[in-house]
Structure 1
């Protein structure tokens, strides 16, 4: 069953929230907030598909809320529709310049609200589908390198709010070039898809992400996962790949395809550079290779905040 779209309604007048909820609750999951600060906290917790945001509120007003939302990597792509009784073109332009996608005037028309919400949710779904294609590896169906960069930027920022733990796994198919040379690229592609499937079977939480990092290299992003659990997952991946029993006569370590795996775990802190997890996991991967391959190496580390720059896209 498809998940129903969720909408966050923000208004300091409870009666306005009740009216909008009555119009939309049949087809949507509704969250609400009665202040700007509560709106930002609720949006972070609920990750709604769309936000209906009152402009005039005491304290943090709608413009300030919209600015905060658009500056948050976790929420920047959530469409915002302002609801207002201002009837002021200058105010409308200001909201659109801040990143809102539409205005709905009060008192609301139920027909207009349903139509605009439906249209903007459909446009968001289409944008999300296109964005997903852009970050998906065509061969394996896993996320690609750009998706890894996005996930690390988002998760390190999100988990820094609570000093949450993030684990990253990087793995490499042992002697894969020899495999391609011996069996051909068609067999190589089939091997990659089978390893990708084994990777997906080993990772269970909805928030976990599996990636084809490049060539024969894969990665997993495991938010809120302690090191011992991440190591268990890594050993499970190695065992699942081994159980595929894909013949590999060119391997120096096994008669079948195997993988070497590096694991790195750290608590997230504000300003953490996402590359830190990739570098640490990559270093552990090379330790696993140096130890004879077909093995797992991992460690916990402490993030040193050198700068606050995000993991930049290479695409």
Structure 2
């Protein structure tokens, strides 16, 4: 594992002993980013914000003890994937069994050996990096490099739940490259693949806010999810994305719509509520996309979701 990769690793130390925090800081700061918390409650807040790959957790903490903190960390979607290592003087089998059952992955014995701490933390940072790389492979479209349908389905469900809990609006936008079959037939499949990559880059570079993402939905169709977005804002986004693709002036001499590549866009904005089905939302966006195509393409249409 390279020093550059390790430097991206984040470790959270949870302990109420200033001396131990100082010692662990001296060991870890040489190869990763380190943050600290002195209680279980503070650990949950810091971990949710910092998203550490590794958490060194003391058993004896004020308020929530190590077991309670570990359980809470593993129960939260924001911190469930972090590797929890108990730093403890306990070596009884019952202690280790309970810790493992709660989601811990390793132990560092007190008094600790700096070489052992370094080796174990580096091992779990490496595992985290490998897991993230594998996740990227699984969730990325191999042709365009943007997110794929698998990621879209999973992430849309998460955003839907979050917005329902907060009673806030969000938007789903479906986009289709106009006359892409004619482009493929006219320029060839190699050029068609490059066209898909160009459009993916144009769309993804225009969507950057937290909670927003672009995914390849299938073939020449893409989807955009926008967080905290009203219908008016979503409508503007649809027009904006049309303009971005049109202004890229990608030649399409085989298109009946114009001399350059264009897209059609279907937009729906809604506040998720109990009993609302995601499939109905997608169908609503698809209907708006159909209307855009029916209206002559190279345009964006908005559909209301009741």
TM over 0.5: yes
Q: Does the 8 A contact of 1:166 with 1:267 survive in 2?
A: yes
Structure (1 or 2) with the greater helix fraction: 2
Query: Residue 38 and residue 162 in structure 1: after superposition, are their counterparts in 2 closer, same or farther (change >3 A)?
Result: farther
SS at the partner of 1:168? strand
Cα deviations across residues 142-163 of structure 1 (Å, max 9, x unaligned)? 1111121232244445556655
- Residue number in structure 1 paired with 2:255: 251
Cα deviations across residues 110-162 of structure 1 (Å, max 9, x unaligned)? 22111111111011101111111111111111111112123224444555665
Q: Quick one: which of 70, 73, 76 aligns to 2:80?
A: 76
Query: Residue 113 and residue 275 in structure 1: after superposition, are their counterparts in 2 closer, same or farther (change >3 A)?
Result: farther
Cα deviations across residues 253-287 of structure 1 (Å, max 9, x unaligned)? 33332111123334567998655654443343233
SS at the partner of 2:48? helix
- Residue number in structure 2 paired with 1:96: 100
Q: Does the 8 A contact of 2:266 with 2:302 survive in 1?
A: yes
Under a length normalisation based on structure 1, what TM-score does the superposition of the two structures give?
0.82
Query: Residue 178 and residue 132 in structure 1: after superposition, are their counterparts in 2 closer, same or farther (change >3 A)?
Result: same
Q: How many residues align?
A: 302
Q: Quick one: which of 58, 67, 70 aligns to 1:66?
A: 70
Unaligned runs of at least 5 residues, structure 2 = none
Query: Residue 102 and residue 192 in structure 1: after superposition, are their counterparts in 2 closer, same or farther (change >3 A)?
Result: same
Q: Does the 8 A contact of 2:230 with 2:269 survive in 1?
A: yes
- CA RMSD, aligned part only? 3.0
Instruction: State the distance in 1 between where 2:167 and 2:28 align.
Output: 36
Superposition deviation, residue 168 in structure 1: 3.0
Deviates more, 1:131-140 or 1:49-58: 49-58
Superposition deviation, residue 217 in structure 1: 0.8
Q: Does the 8 A contact of 1:49 with 1:121 survive in 2?
A: yes
Q: Do residues 298 (structure 1) and 302 (structure 2) align? A: yes
Instruction: State the distance in 1 between where 2:206 and 2:229 align.
Output: 14
Q: Do residues 168 (structure 1) and 172 (structure 2) align? A: yes
- Residue number in structure 2 paired with 1:187: 191
